[in-house]
Structure 1
Amino acid sequence: MIKNEKYNELIKYIKGLGKVVLAFSGGVDSTFLLRVVKEALGDNAKAVTIMSPYIPKWEIAEAKELAKKLGVQHEIIEAPIIDSIKFNPEDRCYHCKTAVFGMILAIAKEQDYNCVIDGTNFDDISDYRPGLKALKELEIKSPLLECKITKAEIRAFSKELGLNTWDKPAYACLLTRIPYGNELKVEDFEKIENAEKYMMSIGFRAVRVRCHGDLARVEVSKNDRSKLFDEKLLDTISQKIKECGFKYVTLDLQGYRVGSFNETIIKNSYEQNK
């Protein structure tokens, strides 16, 4: 049991929800929240994970293992690429979350749970996240947001609780690797997943492979960029990523940053308002 005012407030908040279904990805936030939910509600909780072409297979496997380890009942549901996001609109997250959380809400209703919760944290409201609108409309509860718990606090609490996800890099679905306005294709998701899996296998934990058709734009964390100052390594990476299905491989000199495609939205908005 963690002795912390915010943590105790979170436990109290969750106890007040009754039986809950948690949208569970296996990431830092949702794993921490699942652990807290288990402590607060015992067996009155269920984790639901989405399986889709834009969710890496390794992430589903990790979510399964984490739910099993925490002793929480777990269900996996399949979600297709819906028509409203087929060409990756800027408000893609809104349409996607509306569809996905609609499915999770249906499970909660059918199985007599009181509500659906997710791992949105207090820091998330500072980024471009149209999906938050969908969560609000569907009345999804976000305990970490409501209790004003930040990412740094989640990592610190997770470490104290012995969760091995405490230092797991931030992750996001593979939809974020495709430029806005481009058609979403299953084969592109497969290329991206295999390329990122390779990069992680050689020690780049925080990595994004952005897909621009036949071209892969690789982002590694700023601290890891110096590791790439090796011609032999660059040649190997280029060859391996081409084997994943890309024809060209480039390195983004600025390095990894959350939502780099959102920069185009900000720039376009600035140009329109000049």
Structure 2
Amino acid sequence: MFEQKLEALKGIFAQMDRAIIAYSGGIDSTLVAKVAYDVLSDRALAITAESPSLLPEDLEDAKIQALQIGIPHQVIQTHEMENPNYTSNPINRCYFCKSELHDTLKPLALSLGYPYVVDGVNADDLKDYRPGIQAAKERGARSPLAEVGITKMEVREISKFLGLPWWDKPAQPCLSSRFPYGEEITIAKLQRVGRAELYLRKLGWQNLRVRSTGDTAKIELLPEQIKEFVLTTDLPQLVSAFQKFGFIYVTLDLEGYRSGKLNQVLNQDLMMSNMDRMLSI
């Protein structure tokens, strides 16, 4: 089934003369970069936005993956942290993040002679509250994965089919997603969350989040890993490490990791209204 969608994805790029890929290094945008390069060769350009909400280690991963694919790759700076509409962390925070990104990418694309900017939004993303999608569409960006109906699972299947070694890479959205809506985001807070998650990754835990509320860190792991984590982790040492990062309290979420968990506080009608707007753009 996904083979037909892969051909349709290639067909979209075959209709483009040149394209810039908004490339975070995540599995979605990396698949888009791979297919774009396979079709367009050096007429495809991957661009990664560097900001405090991106771990330096994830930026290095993005560089390595682009090199393996062969696609030309550039890193630009974005400045969403200078926008109080972003740092105040409203429920549509992602709108201001993607606005900054695409307000930077669009003029750059035009100046370099690239008529298209594409991103890694997939079909499943349209089912969640993602105000950043609206911002991208307003600025003319296209989402080839969503256009041909490729789901998150199919992104992994296609990536594996194409021989991409990172096909099972855990999702890693920007660090600002670790804070409950309404809590101010600062560079210091982003850095302590990033260091905490990197600490856990180095212990061997990959599918995880460290949510931050005030001075409290809440660790989310896959539900089936919670017992093993408690039994095998040196908890006093972990608490000490987190306190050195700047947290005072360290807790473990007994429900476990679930993507988009912070959105459960949102009004369902608001989420449905937002999704209707995204689908109509």
Aligning the two structures, in what range does the TM-score lie when normalised by the shorter sequence?
over 0.9
Q: Does 1:21 align with 2:30?
A: no
Mapped to 1, the partners of 2:62 and 2:13 lie a distance apart of 21
2:92 maps to a residue whose letter is: D
Question: How far off is 1:3 after superposition?
Answer: 9.0
For residues 88-107 of structure 1, the aligned pairs below 5 Å read 88-107=89-108
Query: Is 1:34 matched with 2:33?
Result: yes
Of 236-245 and 86-95, the range deviating more from structure 2: 236-245
| Separation of aligned partners in 2, 1:12 and 1:268 | 36
In structure 2, C-alpha distance between the alignment counterparts of 1:186 and 1:164, rounded to whole Å: 32
Q: How does 1:165-176 map to 2 (within 5 A)?
A: 165-176=166-177
1:232 deviates by 5.5
Q: Which one-letter code corresponds to 2:78 in the other structure?
A: A
The answer to whether the 8 A contact 1:45-1:72 is kept is: yes
- What CA distance in whole angstroms lies between the structure 1 residues aligned with 2:199 and 2:131? 31
Asked whether 1:225 is paired with 2:202, we answer: no
| SS of 2:261 mapped into structure 1 | coil
Give the TM-score, by structure 2 length: 0.91
Give yes or no for contact 1:48–1:77 (8 Å, CA) kept in 2. Answer: yes
Residue 247, structure 1, aligned to residue 248, structure 2? yes
Structure 1 portions without partners, runs of 5+: none
What residue is the counterpart of 1:60 in the other structure? 59
Letter in 2 for 1:68: L
Equivalent residue, structure 2, for 1:76: 75
The alpha-carbon distance between structure 1 residues 218 and 266, as it changes in their structure 2 partners (threshold 3 A), is farther
Q: Between the two proteins, what is the percent identity of the paired residues? A: 36
Alpha-carbon distance change, 160 to 86 in structure 1, aligned in 2, over 3 angstroms: same
Question: Does the Cα contact within 8 Å between 2:20 and 2:45 map onto a contact in 1?
Answer: yes
Contact 1:22 1:117 in 2 (8 A): yes
Q: Deviations over 1:6-36 (max 9, x none)?
A: 1111101111122000000111111111110
Report the CA distance shift for 1:168/1:3 in structure 2 as closer, same or farther (over 3 A): closer
Shift of 1:235: 2.3
Query: Residue 47 of structure 1: SS of its match in structure 2?
Result: strand
Q: Kindly provide the amino acid, as one letter, of the partner of residue 63 in structure 1.
A: A
Post-superposition CA distance 1:89-116 (Å, at most 9, x none): 1001111111111101111011000110
The 8 Å contact of residues 2 and 158 in structure 2, kept in 1 or not, is answered as no
Task: Identify the residue that residue 128 of structure 2 maps to in structure 1.
Answer: 127
Aligned to 1:193: 194
Is contact 1:48–1:76 with CA below 8 Å preserved after alignment? yes
Letter in 2 for 1:150: T
> Contact (CA 8 Å) 1:228, 1:234: kept in 2 or not?
no
How many aligned positions are there?
269
Contact 1:85–1:96 under 8 Å retained in 2 = yes
Aligned equivalents of 1:268 and 1:211: distance in 2? 26
Matching residue's letter, 2:25 = G
More helix by share: 2
Q: Return the offset for 1:57.
A: 0.7
Counterpart in 1 of 2:183?
182
| In structure 2, C-alpha distance between the alignment counterparts of 1:176 and 1:229, rounded to whole Å | 25
Residues 152 and 232 (structure 1 numbering): CA distance in 2 closer, same or farther, change over 3 Å?
closer
- Residues 2 and 154, structure 2, Cα contact 8 Å, conserved in 1: no
CA deviation after TM superposition for structure 1 residue 223, in Å: 2.1
Alpha-carbon displacement from aligned partner over 1:39-72 (angstroms, at most 9, x marks no partner): 1111111001010011111111111111111111
CA distance in 2, matches of 1:164, 1:14: 23
What CA distance in whole angstroms lies between the structure 1 residues aligned with 2:142 and 2:187? 31
Give the structure-1-normalised TM-score: 0.94
- Residue deviations 1:219-244 (CA, integer Å, cap 9, x gap): 11122112123276322322221221
Q: CA deviation at 1:269?
A: 6.6
- Rounded to whole Å, the distance in 2 between the matches of 1:221 and 1:17 is 40
* Unaligned ranges ≥5, structure 2: 272-281
Q: CA RMSD in A?
A: 1.8
Three-state SS of the structure 2 residue aligned to 1:4 is: helix
The separation in 2 between residues aligned to 1:77 and 1:231, in whole angstroms, is 41
CA–CA distance in structure 1, aligned partners of residues 197 and 221 of structure 2: 10
Q: How far is 1:267 from its partner?
A: 7.5
* Structure 2 counterpart of 1:159: 160
Moved more, 169-178 or 230-239: 230-239
For residues 218 and 254 of structure 1, what CA distance do their matches in structure 2 show?
10
SS at match of 1:229: helix
